[in-house]
Amino acid sequence: MRQICIMKFGGNTLANKQKLLMAAELIKSRYEDNYIPVVVASANGNLTDVLLDHAYSIAPNPDKRELDMLVTTGERVSVALLSIALRAQGVPSVSLTGSQIGLITTCTHTGADILSLKGDRLVKEVQEGHVPIVAGFQGIGENKEITTLKRGGSDVSAVFLAAQLGADHVEMVKDVDGVYSADPNKDTKAQKYEVLDFDEMYKLALNGANVLHPDAVRLAKEKGVEIRIVHYQTGQTGTVIK
């Protein structure tokens, strides 16, 4: 039986057609290695910001429910395009929203917290040999309204699903090759960490390291889920957080 592999793709790794096709190739390679990847995808590029700009250009204080309805379309675009690319390459994938997999959240719009995974849709897709491509950053409230998590919440979605599905690690696919002591683009002396413990990574995340959402690190520690920072071009792990 294939082992589940959780892969989360950030928006920068899906920013254009070339990057999206590279993401599909990486997912396909895991599938060919006898894994069933469960993929969590962010909105591609800066699409979330573009959608928010549209909303605020229309109204200075847009309704938060309507903002959630709007911005969740960004992830739906990403997951549908990824699934189209994978199917064209012969990988049996299926795109799914947070509500379709039963990701239940609090009822707070634009900043909900995940409560549970209800139903067996995701498990059934995996059992049938399908590669689920799940929209990150979103779920459905207990009142059946579409909700979004805090910005960067796709990281949290990925760790939560790893814990629910019994995966021992998450591959966070990024456009950086690991976690550094400083921004390597600004500091030539910046050193890459090969291994970090959860507490070290949490402090870095709180202090502005944009590689991982601090809530995802905290949840990973609580659930015992290892995080691997993987570069989108090479597919190689640069930093392990455990």
The answer to whether 241 and 172 are in contact (CB under 8 A) is: no
What's the CATH code of the domain at 210?
A: 3.40.1160.10
Please tell me the predicted confidence (pLDDT) of residue 182.
86
Beta strand 35-41 pairing with 131-135 = parallel
Per DSSP, the chain holds a count of helices (H) and strands (E) of: 7, 14
Please tell me the predicted confidence (pLDDT) of residue 143.
97
- CA 54, 59, 61, 66 dihedral sign is negative
The answer to whether 228 and 242 are in contact (CB under 8 A) is: no
Please tell me the predicted confidence (pLDDT) of residue 235.
97
Q: In what order do the strands lie in the sheet with 169-174?
A: 93-96, 131-135, 35-41, 3-9, 169-174, 226-231, 237-241, 195-196
The token duo for 22 is 């590279």
Domains in the chain: how many in total?
Answer: 1
Question: At which residue do the structure tokens 């409560």 appear?
Answer: 115
What pTM value is reported for the model?
0.96
Range of the domain at 41: 3-241
Query: For every residue of 21-84, which 3-state class applies, written as one string?
Result: HHHHHHHHHHHHCCEEEEEEECCCCCHHHHHHHHHHHHCCCCCHHHHHHHHHHHHHHHHHHHHH
pLDDT averaged per 10 residues in sequence order, the chain, 242 residues = 94 97 98 98 96 98 98 98 98 98 98 97 97 98 96 94 97 96 86 97 91 96 98 97 98
Q: Cα-Cα-Cα-Cα dihedral of 173, 179, 184, 187, to 10°?
A: 160
Task: Please give the Cα distance from 131 to 49 (Å, whole number).
Answer: 28
Three-state SS at 99:
coil
